[in-house]
Amino acid sequence: MASYDVIIIGSGPGGYVGAIRCAQLGLKTAVVEGRETLGGTCLNIGCIPSKALLHSTELLHETEHNFEKMGLKVGAPKVDWKQMQAYKDDVIGQNTKGVEFLFKKNKIDWLKGWGSIPEAGKVKVGDEVHEAKHIVVASGSEPSALPGIEVDEKIVVTSEGALALGKIPKTMVVIGAGVIGLELGSVYARLGTKVTVVEYMETITPGMDAEVQRQFQKILKKQGLEFILGAAVQGVETAKSKAKVSYKLKKDDSEAVLDADVVLVSTGRKPYTDGLGLDALGVKVSERGQIEVDGHYRTNVEGVYAIGDCIAGPMLAHKAEDEGIAVAEGIAGQHPHVNYDVIPGVIYTHPEVASVGKTEAELKEAGHAYRKGSFQFMGNGRARANFAADGFVKILADKETDRILGAHIIGPMAGDLIHEICVAMEFGAAAEDLARTCHAHPTYSEAVREAALAASGMGAIHA
């Protein structure tokens, strides 16, 4: 039996980042992880592998569509799927080994195996029971199932199976037009798969800015993805190596069936807390399965905390990381703060989609008077040179004070561009502050400045 200041259960972005911060603050720390490798969903079967496949297929698309226009003659590119998978696995390996290295560097123990909490202050891993003054649950999430649909991870897959298919399917039905479905759907569409996305709501990416939704759907359609919106999937049947997806349109109750080699079920994720013994311990869990915590990530059981995907809030790696840092600093007696109003969300399609803060719909509903400034990438010289002129930047600012309330970007590098707006919001900046900041030319960032010029009422220059 070993004794620690902190034991964290789960080594995803919440758990491993929290552990490093604990160690930096002088706390004796261990992490329990049941997987073969560290890094959680994000590094093993989430953010990182999906981005590797998005990167390689985006370059394929670029080669096929834009190379000749720029005078680059390389012949028709060929896809070696096995090698693409090997590249993806190599990227995963480098990242998970990187976390292992950081654990060693920070003297964090990896307790290998699945952990449970038999009582406050104790964590059981296999036959061993370890002691800890503080226990942090960072056990993450898993795909939520659709009733009546059986996942075999070969024909009917979750994102995990979709990242590791044996071959590129000719046809794919994606159930759910959220972030994961659209990212993986666009990977396969670029590889030549006929992708049809079936979504229950009337729009893709529910909850997102409406103008972004419309333009995003148009762009994805141009890339070959088909959409069936307002459709309730009734069931999925598999026979040999094929599947049939039946759905009912909400507007007229008409029913139809789609054939597919692969069906990707991407209808959201739910907290994963199996086997931790939370029930017996008396830890309060909401109806949605999220561990309930206070503003300091404390559960109702003293000495037990929870962070990341297994608590409320957006299921994002950077949100989990920030909570990991905050819980560590709180345990060490500091007074950390996570600003949930400034957590960016990014979709890594081509072009990327990024947002932070309020949408127009939210501001209207709250009766908050705002000004909006938009700028199309068509007016940005760099974007035109790079065949990346689809999309726009939209900044929303308080009508009276000009303080930035939200931003929505669809366009090149949107996932990076959003951060100057996040920093501005963190400092309580006005749109005029961004607009009066000199931006290098020619960069995509100039589009952000132009949108800020428009939002502040000064007027964009290149519009």
Residues annotated as catalytic are 441
Segment near ligand FAD (CB under 6 A); pick from 39-47, 250-258, 280-288, 394-402: 39-47
Phi, psi torsion values for 162, nearest 5 degrees: -65, -25
400 and 371 Cβ atoms separated by less than 8 Å: no
Nearest residue (CB) to ligand FAD, 184 versus 430: 184
Of 149, 180, 182, 389, the residue at the interface with ligand FAD (CB under 6 A) is 180
Going across the sheet that includes 370-376, the strands are 345-347, 352-357, 404-411, 392-398, 370-376
Q: Which amino acid is at 122?
A: K
Segment near ligand FAD (CB under 6 A); pick from 35-43, 255-263, 352-360, 452-460: 35-43
- Number of C-beta neighbours around residue 385 at 10 A: 11
User: Does 283 participate in binding ligand FAD (rule CB under 6 A)?
Assistant: no
User: Does 122 participate in binding ligand FAD (rule CB under 6 A)?
Assistant: no
User: Does 411 participate in binding ligand FAD (rule CB under 6 A)?
Assistant: no
SS3 content of the chain, % helix, strand, coil (to 5): 35, 25, 40
Segment near ligand FAD (CB under 6 A); pick from 13-21, 59-67, 255-263, 373-381: 13-21
Residues in the chain: 463
Nearest residue (CB) to ligand FAD, 263 versus 363: 263
Beta carbon of residue 4, minimum distance to ligand FAD (angstroms, whole number): 15
- The two structure tokens encoding residue 260: 């597919």
User: Does 33 participate in binding ligand FAD (rule CB under 6 A)?
Assistant: yes
Nearest residue (CB) to ligand FAD, 398 versus 416: 416
Residue count at the site for ligand FAD (CB under 6 A)?
Answer: 36
User: Does 355 participate in binding ligand FAD (rule CB under 6 A)?
Assistant: no
- The candidate with the shortest Cα–Cα distance to 267, out of 178, 328, 206, is 178
- The two structure tokens encoding residue 44: 């093993």
Residues 295-334 that bind ligand FAD (CB under 6 A): 308-309, 315-318, 320
User: Does 176 participate in binding ligand FAD (rule CB under 6 A)?
Assistant: no
Residue with tokens 């890094």: 39
Task: Tell me how far apart the alpha carbons of residues 182 and 204 are, in angstroms, rounded to a whole number.
Answer: 9
Start-to-end CA span in the chain (Å): 67
Nearest residue (CB) to ligand FAD, 141 versus 196: 141
Of 20, 30, 32, 278, the residue at the interface with ligand FAD (CB under 6 A) is 32
User: Does 11 participate in binding ligand FAD (rule CB under 6 A)?
Assistant: yes
User: Does 10 participate in binding ligand FAD (rule CB under 6 A)?
Assistant: yes
Task: Tell me how far apart the alpha carbons of residues 187 and 139 are, in angstroms, rounded to a whole number.
Answer: 28
Nearest residue (CB) to ligand FAD, 173 versus 347: 347
Segment near ligand FAD (CB under 6 A); pick from 46-54, 58-66, 224-232, 357-365: 46-54
User: Does 15 participate in binding ligand FAD (rule CB under 6 A)?
Assistant: yes
Phi, psi torsion values for 228, nearest 5 degrees: -120, 105
Residues 208-237 that bind ligand FAD (CB under 6 A): none
Beta carbon of residue 354, minimum distance to ligand FAD (angstroms, whole number): 11
User: Does 425 participate in binding ligand FAD (rule CB under 6 A)?
Assistant: no
Instruction: Build a one-symbol-per-residue string for 140-159: x at contacts with ligand FAD by CB under 6 A, - elsewhere.
Output: xx-----------------x
Task: Tell me how far apart the alpha carbons of residues 383 and 289 are, in angstroms, rounded to a whole number.
Answer: 44
18 and 9 Cβ atoms separated by less than 8 Å: no
- The two structure tokens encoding residue 435: 């607009």
Nearest residue (CB) to ligand FAD, 186 versus 376: 186
- The two structure tokens encoding residue 285: 């869990």
Kind of pairing between the strands at 226-228 and 231-239 = unpaired
Beta carbon of residue 11, minimum distance to ligand FAD (angstroms, whole number): 6
User: Does 96 participate in binding ligand FAD (rule CB under 6 A)?
Assistant: no
- The two structure tokens encoding residue 333: 């007696």
Of 4, 7, 8, 13, the residue at the interface with ligand FAD (CB under 6 A) is 13
User: Does 41 participate in binding ligand FAD (rule CB under 6 A)?
Assistant: yes
Judged by DSSP in three states, 438 sits in coil
User: Does 185 participate in binding ligand FAD (rule CB under 6 A)?
Assistant: no
Beta carbon of residue 176, minimum distance to ligand FAD (angstroms, whole number): 12
Q: Which amino acid is at 300?
A: N
- By CB under 6 A, name the binding residues for ligand FAD: 9-15, 32-35, 40-42, 46-47, 50, 114-115, 138-141, 159, 180, 272, 275-276, 308-309, 315-318, 320, 348
